[in-house]
Amino acid sequence: MVLTAFGDRACVPLAVPPTPLHACGMPRTWDPESLSPAKAVRFLLDGNQRFLDKASTHQARTFQAELADQPQRPFAIVLGCADSRTPVEILFDQGFGDLFVVRIAGHVVAPSVVGSIEFAASQFGTRLVVVLGHTRCGAIAATVQAIQSGNGPESRNIRAVTDRIAPHIEPLVRTGGASAQQVLLRESMRAHVRASVDHLRHGSRLLEELVLAGRLAIVGAEYELETGRVHLLDDVPNEGGGTDPPSG
């Protein structure tokens, strides 16, 4: 028996077989037992509170061989930064199989990142995507510095990161004027999170289709290194359980 976000029963294969393809060609799945976005957010924030209270329920994250035979059923997809101080499963107090996590410096929305999120959202019935920024982000700071100095990183691979952040924060940095650097960095991080959410909502036909059908919510959040607390930056659609019928 595996304790999951779905209760204390063992994971079971999807109750509803996969339905035909999305218009863009990706498989379409619908799991009537998926958590609603609102409930998924509540699971995350409750987990963050347990983390803060040092009341973790996953302190013994032991190997579970039975997971190999079970389908994935993550209740949330999290796009976070690769920063070593932001371990997503730990700060949300979640365990094996609970979260589908994509981490990359500056949580930039590169094509392979969009593809990873499309894969999870279309295959596992997961109904929530969280873009998780954090304070004192090195990728944001490097991008701010590049804009202010006019000199980007020498490595074109590092520029592949900062060039994906710069358009989201450049107006803010150029008008930031006398803002204290930490204030500017935080506001830049929030602007980048919001732009990343918008990119995922509208830059992917598959994700946009799921959002319009009410099957998926994409929200922004920030993690404070200083306090350990996660704050949502968006409202989450308020709805009942995860039993909405498939729309087609």
Note the residues at the interface with Zn ion (CB under 5 A): 81, 83, 137, 139
Q: How far apart are CA 218 and CA 201, in angstroms?
A: 7
Q: Between residues 5 and 81, which has the closer beta carbon with respect to Zn ion?
A: 81
Q: Between residues 40 and 139, which has the closer beta carbon with respect to Zn ion?
A: 139
Minimum distance of Zn ion from residue 219's CB (angstroms): 18
Minimum distance of Zn ion from residue 138's CB (angstroms): 6
Q: How far apart are CA 104 and CA 148, in angstroms?
A: 24
Q: Between residues 35 and 185, which has the closer beta carbon with respect to Zn ion?
A: 185
Minimum distance of Zn ion from residue 86's CB (angstroms): 7
Q: How far apart are CA 33 and CA 241, in angstroms?
A: 8
3-state secondary structure of 223: strand
Q: Between residues 30 and 92, which has the closer beta carbon with respect to Zn ion?
A: 92
Cα separation values, 78 from 59, 86, 173, 222, Å: 21, 12, 27, 12
Minimum distance of Zn ion from residue 180's CB (angstroms): 19
Distance of CA 174 to the CA centre of its chain: 28
Check if the beta carbon of residue 169 is closer than 8 Å to that of residue 144. Answer: yes
Minimum distance of Zn ion from residue 134's CB (angstroms): 6
Q: How far apart are CA 37 and CA 102, in angstroms?
A: 18
Q: Between residues 168 and 215, which has the closer beta carbon with respect to Zn ion?
A: 168
| Burial of 196 per CB tally in 10 Å (0-12, 13-18, 19+) | buried
H helices of the chain, where? 37-52, 88-91, 111-123, 138-149, 156-175, 181-202, 205-212
Give the pairing of strands 217-223 and 230-232. antiparallel
Minimum distance of Zn ion from residue 135's CB (angstroms): 9
Q: Between residues 136 and 205, which has the closer beta carbon with respect to Zn ion?
A: 136
